[in-house]
Amino acid sequence: MNRSIELENRYCARNYDPLPVVLKSGKGVWLWGVDGKRYLDMMSAYSAVSFGHSHPALVAALTAQAQQLAVTSRAYHTDQLGPFLQLLCETTGQPKALPMNTGAEAVETALKAARKWGYKVKGIANGCAEIIVCNGNFAGRTTTIVGFSSEAQYRDGFGPFAPGFVSVPFGDAAALEAAITPRTAAFLVEPIQGEAGIIVPPAGYLAQCRAICTRRNVLLICDEVQTGLGRTGRLLACEHEAVKPDGLILGKALGGGLLPLSAFLAREDVMGVFNPGDHGSTFGGNPLATAVGSAALRLLHDERLAERAQLLGKRLMDGLRAIVHPAIREVRGKGLLIGLELEPEVISARAFCEHLMRHGILSKDTHATVVRFAPPLIITEAEIDAALAIIGAVFDTLPMARRSSEDRIAA
Ligand SMILES: *Cc1c(COP(=O)(O)O)cnc(C)c1O
């Protein structure tokens, strides 16, 4: 076995089950293994690498800032944080922002803000605030967040969990309305559920949720850690339905694919609940990350990456839908966030990803049946077409018919 894999297996916690490839370099949409083999990255580190690997403008911002000033804590002001937050707020149309590092931390920040807003502004009795979430949600891995997951494995063995969460079916606005009580502070929702398997809700869902939340004085908080920053063909996935949330969570691509950077953004009265000492993070808003974040936001705008995601996403989606094979159950998504659901009777998503890897494409299964296609937004038409040719060729190697149970036992 490869030495790097052996060392990881010996020393690393087994909390992941990576594909058997050892990467050593990346440039744009391409990754190279230690054996020199080249792969097209169709996963982008779960959408964190939207700008491609080592984008020159981002690496330049990173290295220049690293030599200038990297980490100060927020005990002091820096010349990077203010301009970054201005750009972030102006880009997203939110008045206030609170910088953190990982997506989960920004979600935790949103939960704290929502609860405190519930008590201080809405007037919910202390300790009684409820937050409504959706079945199938993914918002990170902290104990509070996995406590409101509907995924048994994410929760198993990690309780007891924080109370105060109510779960409703995703895509069902009437269920949201029915779940709201005078104690409801917020509704936390992903415009498209990423980890659940690229689940796109019915058209009009988010706009209906917006109207309900406004009418019932409940905060609409959109978790756009994965769908935000151009991924779905708009700067924010909320914009597909002209929805402006009261709170917005960004992460992943915000750090330019170079380092962790996340943020919770919100209305004045929501962010206004935080006073000095209420909340914080040693690394949150550090000058190194925010310099890269500013460069990433400029790049997103200058290279019109959301528009590219829309155009190229359509090309990829149309191409995938043109592949006819009994192993394909559904192709769905928006922009360059696409899920290919397979017929598990024919092949598992994991086995399909291993086939793709051998043919030079890296992707990852989500749940047992969905293969994710979410390449860097800088991918070209020619690269999409090359990927489609390979994906088609992999389907050609699969059996055309469902295997009978006898075949499966024989295999
Ligand atoms: C990835 C993700 C998170 C968590 O981000 P981390 O940086 O892994 O903590 C939260 N919400 C959504 C929708 C995500 O896809």
Q: Could you report the per-residue pLDDT of 257-286, keeping only the tens digit for each?
A: 999 999 999 999 999 999 999 999 999 999
Mean pLDDT lowest among 214-223, 244-253, 391-400: 391-400
More confident residue, 404 or 393: 393
Model confidence at 406: pLDDT above 80: no
Do 223 and 321 fall into the same domain?
A: no
Model confidence at 410: pLDDT above 50: no
Model confidence at 400: pLDDT above 90: no
Do 104 and 132 fall into the same domain?
A: yes
Model pLDDT for residues 364-376, shown as the tens digit of each residue: 999 889 999 999 9
Model pLDDT for residues 135-152, shown as the tens digit of each residue: 999 999 999 999 999 999
Atom of ligand 1 nearest to the CA of 252: 7
Residues with CB under 6 A from ligand 1: 46, 102-104, 107, 138-140, 190, 194-195, 223, 225-226, 251-252
Best residue among 138, 141, 188 to mutate for probing ligand 1, ranked by most atoms within 8 Å of CB: 138
End-to-end CA distance of the chain: 25
Atom of ligand 1 nearest to the CA of 227: 13
Sign of CA dihedral 143, 145, 147, 151: negative
Predicted confidence band of residue 402 (pLDDT cuts 50, 70, 90): low
Do 36 and 164 fall into the same domain?
A: no
**Ligand 1 mean position to 407 CA, how many Å?**
39
Q: What are phi and psi of 135, to 5 degrees?
A: -55, 140
Atom of ligand 1 nearest to the CA of 194: 15
Q: Which domain range does residue 361 map to? A: 3-54+304-410
Model confidence at 350: pLDDT above 80: yes
In terms of residues, how long is the chain? 411
Do 228 and 357 fall into the same domain?
A: no
Give, using CA atoms, the residue closest to atom 5 of ligand 1. Answer: 103
Tokens 């339905």 label which residue? 241
Atom of ligand 1 nearest to the CA of 140: 4
User: How would you label 348-375 residue by residue, b for 16+ Cβ within 10 Å and e otherwise?
Assistant: bbeebbbbbbebebbbbbbeebbbbbbb
Could you tell me what percent of the chain has a pLDDT over 70? 97
Other residues' Cβ atoms within 10 Å of the Cβ of residue 36: 7
Predicted confidence band of residue 171 (pLDDT cuts 50, 70, 90): very high
Model confidence at 405: pLDDT above 70: no
**Ligand 1 mean position to 141 CA, how many Å?**
8
Number of domains in the chain: 2
Model confidence at 407: pLDDT above 60: no
Do 118 and 131 fall into the same domain?
A: yes
Residue that terminates a domain, selected from 272, 302, 332: 302
Best residue among 200, 227, 252 to mutate for probing ligand 1, ranked by most atoms within 8 Å of CB: 252
- For helices 287-302 and 81-92, the axis angle rounded to 10 degrees is 40
**Amino acid 401: pLDDT:** 57
User: How would you label 237-246 residue by residue, b for 16+ Cβ within 10 Å and e otherwise?
Assistant: bbbbbebebb
**Ligand 1 mean position to 192 CA, how many Å?**
13
**Ligand 1 mean position to 138 CA, how many Å?**
7
**Amino acid 404: pLDDT:** 47
CATH of residue 80: 3.40.640.10
Do 8 and 138 fall into the same domain?
A: no
**Ligand 1 mean position to 226 CA, how many Å?**
7
pTM of the model: 0.96
Do 136 and 266 fall into the same domain?
A: yes
Report the catalytic residues.
138, 223, 252
CATH of residue 391: 3.90.1150.10
Model confidence at 12: pLDDT above 60: yes
> How large is the average pLDDT for residues 231-248?
98
Residue that terminates a domain, selected from 268, 285, 302: 302
Predicted confidence band of residue 411 (pLDDT cuts 50, 70, 90): very low
Averaged pLDDT of the chain? 96
**Amino acid 346: pLDDT:** 92
Helix count (H) and strand count (E) of the chain? 15, 15
Residue that terminates a domain, selected from 302, 330, 362: 302
Model pLDDT for residues 306-331, shown as the tens digit of each residue: 999 999 999 999 999 999 999 999 99
Query: CA 228, 229, 235 angle in degrees (round to 5)?
Result: 90
Best residue among 100, 226, 236, 254 to mutate for probing ligand 1, ranked by most atoms within 8 Å of CB: 226
Model pLDDT for residues 62-113, shown as the tens digit of each residue: 999 999 999 999 999 999 999 999 999 999 999 999 999 999 999 999 999 9
> How large is the average pLDDT for residues 296-304?
98
Do 8 and 71 fall into the same domain?
A: no
